Structure 1
Amino acid sequence: MKRALVVIDVQESFRQRPTWRAVSNPGIAGQVNRLVSWARDQGDLVVWVLHSEPGSGTVFDPESGHVRLMDGLTPEKDEPVLTKTSRNAFTTTNLQQILTMRGIRDLVVCGIQTEQCCETTTRLAADLGFDVTFVTDATATFPIPHRDAPQDRTVEEILADPRTLQVAEIIARTEYALAGRFASITGTAALVG
């Protein structure tokens, strides 16, 4: 086993937010399951990561009951399920230790959000010496409101604002930032065949 699939934050918390209506990839759980099946068939390790914000009172607070994998995603008993409190999957977990102890040097990254936890994990992994493959179509993100926009707007208002960074722009920016520097960029079909 020299490779691991790292599934980041594909959790029910995101489906509880109003912005889920504007998600770039509403079928992400299906894409992730394709990658998981492929990784298992290859004999690769699958590592599941959840994001948690204890005491926040949000959908990311474990007390909400939403800090769990999306329905349809099921880890096998020997697959680590880690809970992080940082934007990347390394800083507040033992992910690096798990990978190092198993001699894993190649990572395949997928999950939510494309430009946040997935990109940040990818950048840190590359800095730690891992070879990373970023599976863009097995990630998901949401429109990003302008920094000066009011906080209490509806999803429709966010989408209508010309200053909002739309999902296609976010995904393209992430690919540009990562490609050739931090990761190889691919799609699910190209990877799994």
Structure 2
Amino acid sequence: MLGALILIDIQEGFDDPFWGTRNNPDAEANAARLLTHWRAQNAPVFHIQHLSTTPDSPLNPDGGLVALKSMVSPREGETVMAKNVNSGFIGTDLEKMLRKHGVERITICGLTTPHCVSTTTRMAANLGFDVTLVHDACAAFTGNADSAWRDGPAPSAEDIHTAALDQLNGEFATVVPTDQVLA
């Protein structure tokens, strides 16, 4: 069984320079490929949308950039859940809806790898779901890393992305590329 696809925070606000440089410019295109596949299989799809409570965040509803990107925009009947914390499970009915659909396996992609993707992945595994995390349908930003707490250079967006995936693979998820999921 395919299970459910969860697309996390693939929103216009992440195009804002506020976030710094990013890795994986193909993340959204790969997420769109996954979404097309799930739709073709008539499998459950859940869109998660971050509505920040931080006033100057590009993801704050007052900033106007909270819309989901057009290449992954939801269709009628697909669930959209708004959140204002990192986890897609906190303050939403995500777990309840997954259980209602009898979902045991989930596939996750989205933005950003070390934050909302990581937190949602960890919670999904802790709740007992079998999680696949699609690494090339996720991305990270340099603006997310505050290395002021230590000596040394700031990590690159790719370093941040890879480190987050390394921490998730095995214990919380199986990390795979889009092509493997679609095969």
Task: Give me the whole-angstrom Cα distance separating, in 2, the residues matched to 1:141 and 1:18.
Answer: 13
User: Which residue identity is paired with 1:28?
Assistant: A
User: Which residue identity is paired with 1:147?
Assistant: A
Q: Which of 162, 170, 181 is residue 160 of structure 2 equivalent to? A: 170
Q: Which of 170, 173, 179 is residue 180 of structure 1 equivalent to? A: 170
Instruction: Return the offset for 1:55.
Output: 6.3
TM value normalised by structure 1: 0.86
Can you give the 5+ residue segments of structure 1 that lack an aligned partner in the other structure?
150-160
Match of 2:6 in 1: 6
Q: Among the aligned pairs, what percent are the same residue?
A: 31
Q: Describe the superposition over 1:120-171 as per-residue Cα deviations: whole angstroms up to 9, x where unpaired.
A: 100000000000000000001012241349xxxxxxxxxxx95212122222
Structure having the higher Rg: 1
Q: Give the number of equivalent residue pairs.
A: 181
Task: Give me the whole-angstrom Cα distance separating, in 1, the residues matched to 2:36 and 2:97.
Answer: 21
TM value normalised by structure 2: 0.91
Task: Give me the whole-angstrom Cα distance separating, in 2, the residues matched to 1:169 and 1:58.
Answer: 23
- Higher mean alpha-carbon deviation, 44-53 vs 132-141, is at 44-53
Match of 1:16 in 2: 16
- The change in CA–CA distance for 1:2 and 1:37 in structure 2 (over 3 A counts) is closer
Match of 2:147 in 1: 146
Task: Give me the whole-angstrom Cα distance separating, in 2, the residues matched to 1:89 and 1:185.
Answer: 19
Match of 1:77 in 2: 76
Task: Give me the whole-angstrom Cα distance separating, in 1, the residues matched to 2:59 and 2:112.
Answer: 14
Task: Give me the whole-angstrom Cα distance separating, in 1, the residues matched to 2:18 and 2:54.
Answer: 21
Q: Which stretches of structure 1, 4 residues or longer, exceed 4 Å deviation after superposition?
A: none
Task: Give me the whole-angstrom Cα distance separating, in 2, the residues matched to 1:167 and 1:177.
Answer: 16
